[in-house]
Amino acid sequence: MTERIGFIGLGIMGRGMAANILKAGFPLTVWNRTPERTEALAAAGAAVAATPAALAAASDIVITCVSDTPDVQAVILGEDGVLRGAQSGSLVIDMSTISPAVTQEIAAALSARGVAMLDAPVSGGSEGAARGTLSIMVGGAVEALERAMPVLQTMGQRITHVGSTGAGQTVKLVNQVIVVGNCLAMAEGLMLAQAGGVDLEKALEAVSGGAAGSWMLSNRGPQILARDWRPGFTIDLQQKDLRLVLEAADAVGTPVPGTALVFQLYRTLEARGLGGDGNHALIKALEALAGFEVAG
Ligand code: NAP
């Protein structure tokens, strides 16, 4: 039997992910807080629910991809939330990046009503969401993952079971430590290229193919040279993740000095009203310190 899928949160990530589920032939119902954002999917054949509870009542598997921990709590546990409408035996998959500890609390509340939950945060950016090539890190029971696999495969290429409930979110935080380290290294490298007077495009091309190559460099390096700050991932959401990293690292006593530095650099950009820029705008913090700009 084909599972009926419900998708909550049609932002930069969710709209591409939901479109890929629909394209793969799953019956799809969507809900978004700002209703206009459901229009493109409705035109492509998705049903639109009036509330998360109504969406859950019409779905076997409910997927959430909203911003932050309180937002997932609101759409699942809140008034008219998923928990109100979900049938016993259904499955919730949260693909947002949120607190691992709160994930366990939400899973317990769902479990008390006979609803299983997976935490399945993603990496791969808006490009990966649109192309269905995300990397998905999954926490939760093996049986739930086996059930979820066909729908996860419409959104992602690498799907890794990393442990029990909350483990997916912990691994996503590991991912974010590495992402922001890459972003800072890219920004410093491009500042040096600018100051050294070399051709920036050629410098980027040369280093992308070697040991310095990374997703960040290939996807966001050209955007920096074009001074295109449109977000694949906003600074505001990046800071949300870094706060989760700093809390989690503090809880286990792990030093993360590089991440702490990047958090403070992003703070200077938020103070300048740039929280809606893409996370690659980190270079603007270095430009302000150095007194010159990188110009492609
Ligand atoms: P986004 O474009 O800002 O979209 C956020 C979505 O969440 C929107 O649909 C928004 O609804 C909804 N939302 C927020 N708060 C809500 C609330 N209280 N109740 C109901 N709906 C709410 O963000 P995004 O980039 O798609 O990110 C979504 C999640 O994926 C985040 O957890 C993010 O960390 C994670 N993620 C993002 C990327 C990336 O590159 N962008 C990569 C990996 C993971 P409205 O339309 O009404 O605002």
Q: The whole model's pTM is what?
A: 0.95
Same topology between domain 5-164 and domain 170-290: no
As given in the structure block, the two tokens for residue 101 are: 């500890």
Query: Annotated active-site positions, please?
Result: 172
With a 6 Å cutoff on the Cβ, whether 99 touches ligand 1 is no
Residue type, 289: L
Q: pLDDT band at 94, cuts 50/70/90?
A: very high
Residue 44 three-state SS: coil
Three-state DSSP state, 134: strand
- Tell me, rounded to whole angstroms, the distance of Cα 107 from its chain centroid: 19
Element of type H or E holding 107: helix 100-111
Ligand 1 near 14 CB (within 6 A) = yes
Statement: residue 268 has pLDDT above 90 = yes
Q: Is 74 in the pocket of ligand 1 (CB under 6 A)?
A: yes
The residues spanned by each domain of the chain are 5-164, 170-290
State the pLDDT confidence band at 157, using cuts at 50, 70 and 90: very high
Cβ of 89: how many Cβ atoms within 10 Å?
A: 9
Separation between Cα atoms, residue 52 and residue 77, nearest integer Å: 10
Distance 272 CA to ligand 1 centre (A): 22
**CA 150 distance to own-chain centroid:** 20
* Among 32, 33, 67, 230, residue to substitute to test ligand 1 (most atoms within 8 Å of Cβ): 67
Task: Give 66 Cα–ligand 1 centroid separation in angstroms.
Answer: 4
Q: Ligand 1: does its nearest atom lie under 6 Å from the Cβ of 236?
A: no
The residue whose CA is least distant from atom 40 of ligand 1 is 125
CB 76 within 8 A of CB 82: yes
pLDDT band at 193, cuts 50/70/90? very high
Which ligand 1 atom sits closest to the C-alpha of 237? 34
**Is 232 touching ligand 1 by the criterion CB < 6 Å?**
yes
pLDDT for 25-47, tens place per residue?
999 999 999 999 999 999 999 99
Among 18, 15, 21, smallest CA distance to 2 is for: 21
Q: Which CATH superfamily is domain 5-164 in?
A: NAD(P)-binding Rossmann-like Domain (3.40.50.720)
What is the 270 CA–ligand 1 centroid distance (Å)? 18
Ligand 1 contacts CB of residue 17 (under 6 A): no
**How many Å lie between the centroid of ligand 1 and the Cα of residue 189?**
30
Per-residue pLDDT band at 295 (split at 50, 70, 90) = confident
Q: Look at residue 1 and tell me whether its pLDDT is greater than 70.
A: no
How far is it, in rounded angstroms, from Cα 214 to Cα 224?
A: 15
One-letter amino acid for residue 209 of the chain = G
**Domain made up of 170-290: CATH architecture:** Orthogonal Bundle (1.10)
Contact 248, 173 (CB under 8 A): yes
Which residues, other chains included, contact 197 with Cβ-Cβ below 8 Å and sequence gap of 6+? none
Region 44-71: what's the mean pLDDT?
98
Is 156 touching ligand 1 by the criterion CB < 6 Å?
Answer: no
